[in-house]
Amino acid sequence: MLKHTENIIEVKNLVKKFGNFVANDNLSFEVKKGEIFGFLGANGAGKTTSIKILSGLSFPTSGDVMVAGFDVYKEREKVKKNIGYMSQKFSLYEDLTVRENIRFYGGIYGLSGKYIKEKTESLIERLKMKDIQDSLIKSLPLGWKQKIAFSVAIFHNPKIVFLDEPTGGVDPITRRDFWEMIYEASDSGITVFVTTHYMDEAEYCDRVSIMDQGRIEGLDTPAELKKQFHAKNMDEVFLKIAR
């Protein structure tokens, strides 16, 4: 895994407070270009807070955050051009069809009509969505919705895509499918930043950071982490960290 050398995300001493509550307590880490970076932690550990800061949806209280070479403080709109984002809260329009959703988001990113058309065709082809391309999103099963939401998030070829618990609530097979898509995106050069609380998914990441109560308690490749914590699998690592 030595191919990743250039930093695409740099976080130094990031703090985010809500009143007295410290959601992110002095985080510092880097994400290398092209890697799949896992952000693990129990619910409420502060994952969503940091992903929102990284994607420019929320201001940090203090600290330096650079994403894709831009400061999230001063150059938020430039950051946004270079990232994709898929939230755990559902983000497609339920009353639009698959095609309409893709066209809308493509348009918002300023892609040309021709490009949107071509890419939509190939996407529909690749995901085998011919039958459902004109169905309303609300009529589709959750697994499909997640796949489409992910495709929409990377439709404009961002440098980085942020996935906030992308596989919540679906069965293991669908999750496996979803990870195939993540790998594909990664192969095409997109850096993937993914939060999850499924420990088996951690194994799929190049590097993993484990958060607990707003702090990063461990950060390395899954293999190194297991070694470090003398654990058979990531589950054990996690349990040891969270106690």
Partner 1 sequence: MKKILYILQKEFIQVFRNKTMLPLIFGMPILQLLVLVNAATLEMKSIDMYVVDKDLSSLSHKLINKFEGSPFYHVSGVSFSIDEANEAIEKNQADFIMHIPYGFERSLMRENSTQVQLLIDGINGTAASLINAYSSSVINSFNRNIIVDLTKMPQIKELNPIAVETSYWYNPELNYKIYMLPGILVILVTVISMFLAAMNIVREKEIGTIEQLNVTPIKKFEFIIGKLVPFLIIALFEMAFGLLIGKLLFDVPMVGSLGLLFGFTVVYLLVVLGIGLFISTISSTQQQVMFISFFFMLVFILMSGIFTPTESMPLWAQKVNIINPFYYFMRVIRMILLKGSGFWDISREFFSLLIYAIIILSLAVWRHRKVA
Contact between 208 and partner 1 by CB under 8 A: the answer reads no
Contact between 105 and partner 1 by CB under 8 A: the answer reads yes
- Which strands make up the sheet holding 83-86, listed edge to edge? 83-86, 160-164, 191-196, 36-41, 207-212, 215-220
In the complex with partner 1, the residue whose CB is nearer, 3 or 89, is: 89
- Nearest distance, CB of residue 234 and partner 1, angstroms: 29
Task: Show contacts with partner 1 in window 38-57 (CB under 8 A).
Answer: 52, 55-57
Distance from C-alpha of 35 to C-alpha of 1, rounded to nearest angstrom: 9
- Nearest distance, CB of residue 136 and partner 1, angstroms: 8
Contact 181, 126 (CB under 8 A): no
Contact between 231 and partner 1 by CB under 8 A: the answer reads no
Candidates 35-43, 100-108, 194-202, 221-229: pick the segment binding partner 1 (CB under 8 A).
100-108
Contact between 173 and partner 1 by CB under 8 A: the answer reads no
- Nearest distance, CB of residue 217 and partner 1, angstroms: 26
Contact between 85 and partner 1 by CB under 8 A: the answer reads yes
Given 2, 110, 131, 232, the residue binding partner 1 (CB under 8 A):
110
In the complex with partner 1, the residue whose CB is nearer, 165 or 217, is: 165
Contact between 150 and partner 1 by CB under 8 A: the answer reads no
> What is the DSSP annotation of the chain?
-TT--SEEEEEEEEEEEETTEEEEEEEEEEEETT-EEEEEE-TTSSHHHHHHHHTTSS--SEEEEEETTEETTT-HHHHHHTEEEE-SS--S-TTSBHHHHHHHHHHHTT--HHHHHHHHHHHHHHHT-GGGTTSBGGGS-HHHHHHHHHHHHTTT--SEEEEESTTTT--HHHHHHHHHHHHHHHHTT-EEEEEES-HHHHTTSSEEEEEETTEEEEEE-HHHHHHHTT-SSHHHHHHHHH-
Contact between 96 and partner 1 by CB under 8 A: the answer reads yes
In the complex with partner 1, the residue whose CB is nearer, 52 or 207, is: 52
Q: Under rule CB under 8 A, how many of the chain's residues touch partner 1?
A: 32
Contact between 63 and partner 1 by CB under 8 A: the answer reads no
- Nearest distance, CB of residue 102 and partner 1, angstroms: 11
Residues engaged in binding partner 1 (CB under 8 A): 52, 55-59, 76-78, 80-81, 83-85, 87, 89-96, 100, 103-110
